[in-house]
A and B are shown apart, each in its own frame.
Chain A
Amino acid sequence: MSIQANNISKTFGGYKALDNVSLHVPQGKLVSLLGPSGSGKTTLLRILAGLEFPDSLDQSSIRFHGEDVTAVPAGQRGVGFVFQHYALFKHMTIESNIAFGIHAKPRRLRPDKHAIRARVEELLKLIQLEGLGKRYPSELSGGQRQRVALARALAVDPKVLLLDEPFGALDAKVRKDLRRWLRTFQEQIGLTTIFVTHDQEEALELADEVVVMNNARIEQVGDPQTVYDHPASPFVIEFLGNVNRLSPGFRPNRTHKQALYVRPHDIELFPGDADAGSWALDGKVLHVFAAGNYGRVTLQRTLTGEPLEAEIPRERLRKLNLQPGDPVKIRFTHTRVFEQIDATHQELREIIETE
């Protein structure tokens, strides 16, 4: 089921949560709404679910596979919604929780007792919690509760699955496991899925497509590699992954009016007395830490005192044998500048230096 949302605006009191947002989600994709808190991502998800409605039902439209559902309430939209804090019904067993949506169907659409039982068993198996159906939510761990919430949403055979910060309340280890599980799970069932997150790593690792949101607007939509490699705005480059931001006009022979961005892995280091070309900058090593294949070097630019983070291959780092306080030459292999085209539009210009 594809989703098409057009011109969605939403204000709460005087606060603009969504400002004329449009979004297309293709059939069967796993899409992430990524942004800092207050960017409108959860509001957008809730509007897609039918838990909130756009300010104007005339100007905005939401279509599920072409069918207009703008004014259809949550229960009839055919969406499965998983809440951040699961919202499991505490006084019901896991089984009853999962079967809730089936029991809520009108009598003529409701399957018989045996069919409901079988469906619940099937879902318990799917979420790998067989045998725990008689327990209560308070007897399960956070990760287990999250999966029950998912099973409950899936029980009504939704056409779209919506998850609000699905891993937000879990600890790091469980989060990683569950993330991987959700990925394979989504591929298995092929359900169009949208999840909200503020964790860029989560979005890039999990999603087929990332929708970066900021300030009630969508900044960029694209697959993870594209948004990472070709960010559409300074916000996106700063929000996704680590990046060094250098003040405008950072070197004497070439002046930039805009800030310049360099990813830590696009930095090369040379000994302080080496000839690293005319574009190299002078700097000082503050801190070195090597874990895995890459070492992290914290630097300070001599001229301006700006701090820089560099990721250097371990082999190279050993050759350089850097100690805190050592002078170094810094060279950027790939830098990005956003040039102001007009008042609202900025264009990315990439500078790849291979001298």
Chain B
Amino acid sequence: MISGNKRAQPNRRILPGFGLSMGFAVTYLGLLVLIPLAGVFIRASGMTWQEFWTVVTSPQVVATYKITFGVSLAAAATNAVFGLIVAWSLVRYTFPGKRVLDAIVDLPFALPTAVAGIALTAIYAETGIMGRWFYALGIETAFSRVGIYIALTFIGIPFVVRSLQPVLEDLDPEFEEAAASLGASRLRAFTHVILPGLLPALLTGFALAYARAIGEYGSVIFISGNMPFETEISPLIIVKFLEQFQIAQATAVAAVMLVASFVLLLGVNILQRWTESIGRART
């Protein structure tokens, strides 16, 4: 009927209606994420602004921020590079033991982080299998920032590999061949043709690995040595406050971490959107 233009458009969405699914999403996220996190701020708000500021800017606490955010960044950046190589190898080549290697990538997800911490400490201590070589070169791999870096790299690798794999599987080798037939070197083909397509996924993996590293506690405390100002991470100082029943101080530091992490992740997200928008969604 021509006059029937008041009729509702037939609903072609799979989930039953925007209202219901959106309402569910908000409630679910609210119960699981937002309300517990809001608790952090409510707890912290028990302090005066002066008290809060003194806690979160005390030299020992500031030192932990630097270590946590700095070393996590280094670990996530390392994973972005080597995770890409691992994902590339797993997608593009067939070799014996490929499935086993593929499964190994997930182990850091599954292993209790304390176990990882103990294992890494044993291996990278001065007398450990790996540690003895590093110590011989003058690199202290246990009870140092290098140790924290090793632990954070360990727990971050699956995020990068798993973010990249599906995108790499969709990447047609034709693009590389096209670049090669046009005379591009391997490096140029990689930087100009392959990398731009991978960047959004690579940033996602990087952001996930970074976020995970910032929050990591279990594996780090074993290998870091936990020396204040040297190898003490922010999650640890929160636990220390809690152990002394200084709950307000603990939540104050937690609130700072929360805001900082959120800002960082938001930044990465915006960057990712921007890289995605190039050449896509322009139809």
Chain A interface (Cβ within 8 Å of chain B)? 49-51, 73-76, 79-81, 83, 85, 87, 89-92, 100-101, 104-105, 136-139, 152-153, 155-156
Query: Is there a chain A Cβ closer than 8 Å to B169's Cβ?
Result: no
Q: Tell me which residues from 154 to 187 in chain B have a Cβ below 8 Å from any Cβ of chain A.
A: 172, 174-175, 177-185
> Which of A80, A90, A138, A153 lies in contact with B197, CB distance below 8 A?
A90
Of B108-116, B134-142, B275-283, which binds chain A? Answer: B275-283
Q: Is the CB of B180 within 8 A of A87?
A: no
Bound: A77/B192 CA distance, A: 21
Distance in Å: Cβ of B272 to nearest Cβ of chain A: 14
Q: Is the CB of B177 within 8 A of A100?
A: no
A85 — which chain B residues lie within 8 A by C-beta? 172, 174
B123 — which chain A residues lie within 8 A by C-beta? none
Chain B interface (Cβ within 8 Å of chain A)? 172, 174-175, 177-185, 188, 192-193, 196-197, 278-280, 282-283
> Which of B175, B177, B185 lies in contact with A89, CB distance below 8 A?
B175
Bound: A76/B181 CA distance, A: 8
Q: Is the CB of A101 within 8 A of B175?
A: no
B182 — which chain A residues lie within 8 A by C-beta? 75, 100-101, 104, 152-153, 155-156
Residue of B nearest to A101 (CB): B182
Q: Is the CB of A89 within 8 A of B184?
A: no
Distance in Å: Cβ of A289 to nearest Cβ of chain B: 39
Q: Is the CB of B279 within 8 A of A136?
A: yes
Distance in Å: Cβ of B108 to nearest Cβ of chain A: 32
> Which of A83, A91, A105, A156 lies in contact with B174, CB distance below 8 A?
A83
Distance in Å: Cβ of B274 to nearest Cβ of chain A: 12
Residue of A nearest to B185 (CB): A104
Q: Is the CB of A100 within 8 A of B282?
A: no
> Which of B178, B184, B282 lies in contact with A87, CB distance below 8 A?
B178
B184 — which chain A residues lie within 8 A by C-beta? 75, 100-101, 104
Bound: A85/B278 CA distance, A: 20
> Which of A75, A87, A138 lies in contact with B183, CB distance below 8 A?
A75
Q: Is the CB of A91 within 8 A of B181?
A: no
> Which of A51, A138, A155 lies in contact with B177, CB distance below 8 A?
A51
Residue of A nearest to B189 (CB): A104
Q: Is the CB of A104 within 8 A of B282?
A: no
B181 — which chain A residues lie within 8 A by C-beta? 49-51, 74-75, 79-81, 153
B174 — which chain A residues lie within 8 A by C-beta? 83, 85, 87
Bound: A334/B148 CA distance, A: 87
Q: Is the CB of A104 within 8 A of B183?
A: yes
Bound: A218/B282 CA distance, A: 45
Distance in Å: Cβ of B67 to nearest Cβ of chain A: 37
Bound: A320/B182 CA distance, A: 61
Distance in Å: Cβ of B280 to nearest Cβ of chain A: 7
Bound: A50/B283 CA distance, A: 34
Q: Could you write out 29 A-B pairs with CB less than 8 Å apart? A: A49-B181, A51-B181, A74-B180, A75-B180, A75-B185, A81-B177, A81-B181, A85-B174, A87-B175, A87-B177, A89-B179, A89-B196, A91-B197, A91-B278, A91-B280, A100-B179, A100-B182, A101-B183, A101-B184, A104-B179, A104-B182, A104-B185, A137-B279, A138-B279, A138-B282, A138-B283, A139-B283, A152-B178, A152-B182
Bound: A79/B280 CA distance, A: 30
> Which of A49, A81, A139 lies in contact with B282, CB distance below 8 A?
A139
Residue of B nearest to A83 (CB): B174
B183 — which chain A residues lie within 8 A by C-beta? 75-76, 101, 104-105, 156
A91 — which chain B residues lie within 8 A by C-beta? 196-197, 278-280
Bound: A154/B272 CA distance, A: 34
B196 — which chain A residues lie within 8 A by C-beta? 89, 91
B279 — which chain A residues lie within 8 A by C-beta? 90-92, 136-138
Distance in Å: Cβ of B170 to nearest Cβ of chain A: 12
Q: Is the CB of A104 within 8 A of B188?
A: yes
Bound: A73/B177 CA distance, A: 11
A75 — which chain B residues lie within 8 A by C-beta? 180-185
Using A74-B180, A81-B178, A100-B184 as known contacts, list a sample of 20 further A-B pairs with CB atoms less than 8 Å apart, ordered by residue number in A. A50-B181, A51-B180, A51-B181, A73-B180, A75-B181, A75-B184, A75-B185, A83-B174, A87-B174, A87-B175, A87-B178, A89-B178, A89-B196, A91-B196, A100-B179, A101-B182, A104-B188, A137-B279, A139-B282, A152-B182
User: Considering residues A73, A92, A100, A156, which has the most beta carbons from chain B within 10 angstroms of its beta carbon?
Assistant: A100
Q: A73-B180, A100-B179, A138-B282 are in contact. Are A87 and B185 (CB under 8 A)?
A: no
> Which of B179, B188, B193, B280 lies in contact with A138, CB distance below 8 A?
B280
Q: Is the CB of B172 within 8 A of A87?
A: yes
B193 — which chain A residues lie within 8 A by C-beta? 89
B188 — which chain A residues lie within 8 A by C-beta? 104
B178 — which chain A residues lie within 8 A by C-beta? 81, 83, 87, 89, 152
B175 — which chain A residues lie within 8 A by C-beta? 87, 89
